[in-house]
Amino acid sequence: MEYRVTLLGSEQNAPTDSEKSFTVGPDQSLLEAALFQDIALPYGCQSGGCGACRAKLVAGQIHYSYDPPALSEEEKAQGYILLCQAQPRSDLSLQVEERLSSQAIPVRNMPVRVEHKQPLCHDVMQLMLKLPKGEVFEFLPGQYVDFLLRDGRRRSFSIANGPATKGVIELHIRHVPNGDFSDFVFSSMQDRVILRVEGPLGGFYLRPQSDHPILMMAGGTGLAPIKSMLEYMLDQGMHRETHLFWGVRGQRDLYLHETLLEWSQSLPWFDYTPVLSEPASGQPDASSWQGETGYVHEVVARRFPNMQDYDVYMSGPPVMVQAGRDQFLAQGLPVEQLFYDSFDYAFQTWPQQEAPDKHKPGG
């Protein structure tokens, strides 16, 4: 038995001029069936944890084999579902942002050469990957790539450069204690080594068609996809009011801080607020910090008590993303204006976290 799923377009743009439908079996996830039939829907982790595949159920019944963590009670009450986990129990109508055909970027599997690696701070390495000569790698600002390791495992990292930088992929890799891939990157990886990547992946990317001002919130290496978005905005001459809040533990974790300060001084539409959760971390004199302290989502919430008119982009540790989601929705942020990506390995910059067991971007 098969059910039919009809896509009605996104809430902001519905109905699409390319209304589509696809079929799905009762034991199949909606995402799996859509991708199998070449319908380009947004997704990320495919395990119910990141929220990138969120869609609104307009009509019909679905079933989950477990309660997926990436949806808040408020989102569920408003009819949102996760395409990677939902299985059909009837024909369905969904409001979902199918990537427009111009954005339906093919996922590539290709070799890359490590052009160089450079420490950005005490535990973050910048990797510059060179594509094979003549290769064009298209992606949306905010997406990520997977390294395909020899033993079949994958390691995911957000792309940190803007799409206009041709022929190169920039990544920010945090050193994870006992993380074999990041150990390799920090110790034995040589320049010019050849690795294999797959991408672009993920449904976390900048929506340039909106005219709302933007709030960006990053935790640790969650800065990488945000930097990609900012570089895209600079390249495109997009001057939408944008406020970036970046949460790290201590001053020594603020890599690329000078660049962000420079942008905030030279771009009238952009401001930047670093937030330290532990100002004394790695610092003999914590009083040298005069800026914001505490949890970054609380600083954002205090500075923007009414979020109704903003688009919010969050990337970083799951606990930051979840706390931000709950707080911002409670402060009037419409669900459809909230975009986020959870970095399971970025927890190193976030206090009181247990190590997660999967490897979304950052690990």
Residues 6+ apart with CB under 8 A from 320: 217, 219, 222, 247, 295, 296, 297, 314, 350
Residue nearer to ligand FES on the CB measure, 3 or 80: 80
Residue nearer to ligand FES on the CB measure, 44 or 162: 44
- 193-232: which residues touch ligand FES (CB under 6 A)? none
Regarding 44 and contact with ligand FES (CB under 6 A), the answer is yes
Q: What's the min distance (Å) between Cβ of 143 and ligand FES? A: 13
d(Cα 90, Cα 73) in Å, to the nearest integer?
Answer: 23
Decide if 280 contacts 252 (C-beta within 8 A).
no
**x-or-dash string of contact with ligand FES, 50-69, rule CB under 6 A:** xxxx----------------
Q: What's the min distance (Å) between Cβ of 117 and ligand FES? A: 29
**Which residues of the chain form beta strands (DSSP E)?**
3-7, 20-24, 54-59, 62-63, 80-82, 87-88, 92-95, 108-121, 124-130, 144-148, 154-158, 168-174, 194-201, 214-219, 242-248, 270-276, 292-293, 311-316, 338-342
Which residue in 7, 9, 48, 224 binds ligand FES (CB under 6 A)?
48
Residue nearer to ligand FES on the CB measure, 162 or 317: 317
Q: What's the min distance (Å) between Cβ of 361 and ligand FES? A: 12
Regarding 349 and contact with ligand FES (CB under 6 A), the answer is no
**x-or-dash string of contact with ligand FES, 158-197, rule CB under 6 A:** ----------------------------------------
Decide if 39 contacts 71 (C-beta within 8 A).
no
Neighbours of 180 (CB within 10 A): 12
Which residue in 8, 55, 81, 82 binds ligand FES (CB under 6 A)?
82
| Best CA proximity match to 234, nearest among 192, 262, 196 | 262
Regarding 49 and contact with ligand FES (CB under 6 A), the answer is yes
255, 274, 285, 288 from 260: Cα distances, Å: 9, 10, 23, 19
Pull the structure tokens for residue 358. Answer: 């999967």
Residue nearer to ligand FES on the CB measure, 46 or 95: 46
Which residue in 33, 40, 45, 248 binds ligand FES (CB under 6 A)?
45
Q: What are phi and psi of 234, to 5 degrees?
A: -65, -45
Taking the alpha carbons at both ends of the chain, their separation in whole angstroms is 40
Regarding 250 and contact with ligand FES (CB under 6 A), the answer is no
Residue nearer to ligand FES on the CB measure, 121 or 314: 314
Query: Cβ-closest residue to ligand FES?
Result: 84
Q: Any bridge partners for residue 116, and if so which?
A: 128
Q: What's the min distance (Å) between Cβ of 53 and ligand FES? A: 3
d(Cα 153, Cα 338) in Å, to the nearest integer?
Answer: 31
CA atoms within 13 A on the CB side of 232: 21
Residue nearer to ligand FES on the CB measure, 51 or 318: 51
Q: What's the min distance (Å) between Cβ of 231 and ligand FES? A: 25
Residue nearer to ligand FES on the CB measure, 82 or 299: 82
| Best CA proximity match to 90, nearest among 60, 112, 66 | 60
Which residue in 84, 127, 320, 335 binds ligand FES (CB under 6 A)?
84
Regarding 333 and contact with ligand FES (CB under 6 A), the answer is no
Which parts of this chain interact with ligand FES (CB under 6 A)?
Answer: 43-46, 48-53, 70, 82, 84
